[in-house]
Structure formats: C-alpha cells, structure tokens
Amino acid sequence: MKRYGMKRVLFMLGVMVISARPLSAQDAAALIRESRDRITADTVSSRSRMVLTAKNGSTTERRLDQYSKDGPKGSRTIVAFQSPAAVAGTRFLTMENPGGADDRWIFLPSLGRVRRIAASEGSGSFVGTDLSYDDISAADRDADLDTHRLLREESLNGAACYVIESVPKDTSYQYSKMVQWIDKATRVNHKVELYDRRGTLVKLLETLELREVQGRLSPTLTKMSTFAAGTSTTIIVEILKYDDPIPESVFTTRFLETGRP
C-alpha cells in the first residue's frame, strides 16, 4: 500500500510525531519524507478544475482527470485534460524512478504522437500553466536529493509551523532552494516558496483549502503564483476518491495515445 505524496502539484501533506527537542538536519529530512508520504492509499483518482489567471486579471479554465497508483518502482500518475478544446486529449504520464529523475511522457493531439520529456526540460511550463514539469513531480521528490534544515518556527494563518529550507544537491535543478511551512499539528504543507538559481523568489505554492475525504485530510484548493509574470494557476478538486480500482494499462504510453485502457 502506497503512502501517497498525492498529486505531485495538487497535494503536499504530512503527519509526524512532534518532538520537544530542536530539529536536526536528519529530523528535518524525516519530516519532509513524512509530509510527502502522509496519505495511505492503493490508488488516488480525482477530477479538477484549473483556473489560469493572466497578468491583466482575465481567466481561462481547464478540466482534467488524474489517476495515481503504486508500482514496482514507485508511484505512477496520469493527467488527462478533458476541456477546453484547445487542450482536450492532452495526456501526461510520470513514473517515479527512485534515486533519479522521474520518467515522463506527454501526448499532444496537435502532434499526434507521444513525446518523452527529458530531465533537462523540467523547468518547462506544463501545458501553459504556472506549473513546470518538475513542479508536477515535486510532492514525490526523493528527500535524499536535497539538504534540509530548520530555519525557524512561526505561525501561518493561525497554524504553528516548522519552516524548513530544502537545497537541491544537484546544482542543475531549476530551483536553488525550496522553503516550506509545515503544520506542527497536522503536518500539512501550507506554503512553499521556490527560488531560482540567482536566489530570487520566483514562485509560491499555497494550500488554501482542506477537507476530510474518506478519513484523510486532503487539499482541495491549491494555487501556484509566478511573480515575474504576474500570473497564477489555481486547482480546485471537485471529485476525489481513494482506493478505487485503476487498470494497470492506464499507466502506459498506449493509453497516452488512445485515452482508452
């Protein structure tokens, strides 16, 4: 049974026993692992509405389905866009690869074929949103790929949080560091600041709404903002189900091409 990081870009949560002593680097890393693996489920299925907000305040909407399931090497996730027509039929597959970058493929109807996403393309925009391909995989990112330390403890929106800095060991990664606000009581990851290679804050990921789904505290409203562009992408989860059967054939490049298991 997989302890899901949940969606990668959509869900970033965590649960852990509170310690009275100061957190060491090892403690911070352990907390990051637990926050990314908090939800226990065989599978996760969701339907979401994605709202893209432009710099001038205008918005466009997209609808997508997402399916995640554990596999021999780790979790697999399919994202399938249903509307509008400009992106309908676009499908994205990511497969966890322990100790290395995820394997990723995308099917674009305009190309009519599946294309592999190289690790060097991780900073590219995911289907025109404020999310990059690396952002999609971030919630399942191996904690050992980064060095973690506790910066401070502070309150965020009334919740007592640990503020933890994570610095990638691979200097080619698109971010120089990630700063995360993790709730002391629930280990929900409420906020993540993302800094570029120059040390500039470039993006902000926020968990804005949570609700209990099948006994699991789950984020149902998240927002990624890009400061330089003045844009944002908000994801509203409308349907969320745990442990529904998902055929293995969904997590294949053939499904990417056809949309049929």
Confidence of residue 74 (pLDDT cuts 50, 70, 90): confident
Sign, CA torsion 82/83/87/89: positive
Q: What is the pLDDT of residues 75-117, one digit of tens each?
A: 899 999 999 999 999 999 999 877 677 899 999 999 999 999 9
pLDDT of residue 12: 32
- Is the pLDDT reported for residue 31 higher than 60? yes
- Is the pLDDT reported for residue 140 higher than 80? no
Name the average pLDDT for the chain. 88
Q: What is the pLDDT of residues 195-217, one digit of tens each?
A: 999 999 999 999 999 999 999 99
pLDDT of residue 24: 67
DSSP H helical ranges for 10-68: 25-36
How long is the chain?
Answer: 261
In 126-214 the beta strands, taken as DSSP E runs, fall at: 146-156, 159-168, 177-183, 189-195, 201-213
pLDDT of residue 25: 66
Please state the pTM of the whole predicted model. 0.87
Closest among 79, 77, 52 to 64, alpha carbons compared: 79
Q: Which domains does the chain have, with CATH numbers?
A: 2-258 (2.50.20.10)
Q: What percentage of the chain reaches a pLDDT higher than 90?
A: 71
139 or 4, which is more confident?
A: 139
